[in-house]
């Protein structure tokens, strides 16, 4: 099992389009993918799960991955999340 913590710094959080993008990538892995926010755990392969988390700015997300290809999944999903959640912040520096 791997666990990584990500702080959401952009102003929209993990919304519609990025959420779909995340789910698509997560679904490519065998391992189970979970996103956790304030003790709410959702399935990272479920679009409605991710949307209902409606992660907002300033909150902290935990990405938990369990399974055979967890290392590979953790690496690419973490990268993707960083890109989605911090994109704008970087642009504004």
Partner 1 sequence: MKKKTINKPVAEMLVQGQILSPGIAIGKVFLLEDDHSNPVEVTVLPNRVQAEIEKFKKAVQDTILDLQLLIDQIGEKVSAHKREIFDAHLMILDDSNIIEQTITKIHNEHVTAEYAYSTVMSSYQRTIADSQDTYLQERATDIRDIKRRVIRKITGGHLKQFTDLTGTIIFAKDVNIFDVTALEQQNAAGFVLENVGRTTHTAIIIRALEIPCIIGISKLLIKLRQNDICIVDGITGEIILRPSQLTIKKYQEKLKNYKKYQLQYRRIGHLPNTSYDGKSFIVNANIELPDEADIVKQSGDFGIGLFRTEYLFMAANRLPTEEEQYEKYTEVVKRINPYPVTIRTLDVGGDKTVPFLESEKERNPSLGWRGIRICLDMPDLFKKQLRAILRASVWGNIKIMFPLISSPHEILHAKNLLENAQTELQYQNIDFDSNIPVGIMIEVPSSVILADKLAQNVDFFSIGTNDLIQYTLAVDRSNTKVSNLYNAFHPAVLRMIKHTVQIARKYNIPVGLCGEMAGDPLAALLLFGLGIAEFSVSPIMLLRIKQILRSIEFLEAQKISNRCLRLSSSEEIEDYLHHTMHILFPGMDEDNYFYIK
Distance from C-alpha of 50 to C-alpha of 20, rounded to nearest angstrom: 9
Q: Which stretch binds partner 1 (CB under 8 A): 1-9, 40-48, 58-66, 67-75?
A: 40-48
Residue 25 has which token pair?
């990538």
- Which residue among 1, 3, 11, 41 contacts partner 1 (CB under 8 A)? 11
Q: Check binding of 82 to partner 1 (CB under 8 A).
A: no
Task: Clarify whether 89 is annotated catalytic.
Answer: no
Q: For residues 92 and 1, what is the distance between their CA atoms, to the nearest angstrom?
A: 35
Q: Which of helix, strand or coil describes residue 88?
A: helix
Contact 39, 92 (CB under 8 A): no
List interacting residues with partner 1 (CB under 8 A): 10-12, 15-16, 20, 23, 42-43, 45-49, 51-52, 54, 87-88, 91-93
Residues marked active site are found at 15
């Amino acid at each position: 099992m791997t666990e990584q913590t990500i702080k959401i710094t952009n102003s929209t959080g993990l919304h519609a389009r990025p959420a779909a993008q995340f789910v698509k990538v997560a679904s490519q892995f065998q391992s189970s993918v979970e996103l956790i926010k304030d003790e709410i755990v959702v399935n990272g392969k479920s679009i409605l799960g991710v949307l209902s988390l409606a992660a907002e700015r300033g909150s902290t997300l935990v990405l938990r991955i369990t399974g055979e290809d967890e290392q590979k999944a953790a690496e690419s999903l973490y990268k993707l999340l960083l890109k989605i959640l911090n994109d704008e912040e970087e642009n504004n520096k």
